[in-house]
Homo-oligomer: A and B are copies of this chain.
Amino acid sequence: MRPIRIAIIGYGKIAADQHEPSIRGNPRLELAASSSRSGKGPKPAFTDWREMLRSVDGLEAVAITTPPKPRYEIARECLAAGLHVLLEKPPCATLSEIEDLACLADARQRTLFATWHARHNAAVPAAAQALAGQQIESMEIKWHEDVRKWHPGQTWIWDAGGFGVFDPGINALSIATAIFPGSLFVAGAKLTVPKGAQTPIAADIVLESAESCGDLACSLDWRRTEGEEWTIRTRTATGSEVLLTEGGARLFVDGTEQPVSGIGEYPDIYRRFVELIDERRSDVDVRPLRLVADCLLVGTSETVEPIDV
């Protein structure tokens, strides 16, 4: 079987670290080209993605790993050109954009895959299985990390559309929506915004669900210099505890670690992309981005002292 020829648009750090090796490691895919503003990337490397689309023969798919803002326009033209499209998270800058792309992919009968990489940890489907059909007593999400360690010098995270603490936090929401046995809603949110910034450094979110009468809490915090953690602790009505740690990499049920094995987040993303293309289907789950928007719709903001990163 001839491999699917795919190009990377927006070749940068995440593309070099994750997308390129995952594509090269998948025998069903062939990395055909790349584009980036610098023109550095797997050859042939372009600085203009439109020129790349015109120049590369037999291109069938693209992975778009630019920042969120330009993704809509790029994806729209790629789908219109008959290409299958994979999007890094978050899929677009706005909900209207990703909903429009989903309609367009449907109309063009092409695969659109809005990826949420954290969901591709092997422990995540295992946790979902452990919680399936359960009544939930409580859920406690803690996504606590040091912004200075993970985003040194990246001032764009504080700009409008930069997502702030929701940039990592949307990973937590992508896992929560994948494992929780029911729909999750935002009842309230307290956003903490540094003076001079447009995006929050911390968010305390109260969630609710028809499948739970207990506390469903999500704490996102970029101010933890010690004791960083990325955990989701869920207790069922029957007294069982399902704990995901390390951002979804490890699973504990009632204190006992569960053996899980997988091929890795990004290799699994590309395995799934090929599967979707084969099945002529799309996978566009907007719920994590929608929950972030809902936090902004119902949340309160409090301004705190400025931060340097």
Contacts and interface: CB of A to CB of B under 8 A. Distances in A.
A23 to B, nearest CB: 30
A290 B102 CA distance: 15
A110 to B, nearest CB: 17
A230 B296 CA distance: 26
Contacts of A198: 300-301
Contacts of A95: 95, 290, 293-294, 297
Contacts of A5: none
A107 B92 CA distance: 29
B100 A183 contact: yes
A184 interface: yes
Contacts of A72: 185
A300 to B, nearest CB: 4
A48 interface: no
Contacts of A298: 93-94, 160-161
Most buried by B among A183, A297, A303: A297
A66 B211 CA distance: 24
A291 interface: yes
A142 to B, nearest CB: 22
Nearest to A69: B298
